[in-house]
Amino acid sequence: MPQVQRLNNVRSININNNDLSAEKKFKQRVRQVHQRRLSALFLVLGGVAALLGSQLYQAHQINAQTRTQLVQQHHKLRQARAQRTDLRNQIHQLHDPEYLDNLIRYRFNYSHDGEIIYNIPNESNKNLNF
């Protein structure tokens, strides 16, 4: 029987204006809390998005610099290969006795027996005083 007594002790709910305004205040308070939480969530997500955006921008800048350096290095490589080809051609020509003879005669003004060398100034040597 103790259970029956408990049921009899239950009060009936009286709904009046005071209870409705308290319920409205509670719902407004819950709505305010949800809005604050949502604002805080958007603020945190905005911060994370800004951080990731800055990282993405920084990675893009580094990528652009790396591409520029890569283009410069390819240009240097092409120049080095061209220079290597020229040097190999010069080495190959130096093994040719006829080319070597002409080179020595031109650079060092060597002559064969009985030859006379005449130096005629060209346009680049015109202003030189001899």
74-100: pLDDT as tens digits: 999 999 999 999 999 999 999 998 998
The model's pLDDT over 45-71, given as tens digits with 9 standing for 90+, comes to 999 999 999 999 999 999 999 999 999
Is this prediction's pTM over 0.85? no
Q: Identify the residue whose tokens are 């027996």.
A: 113
CA-based max dimension of the chain: 149
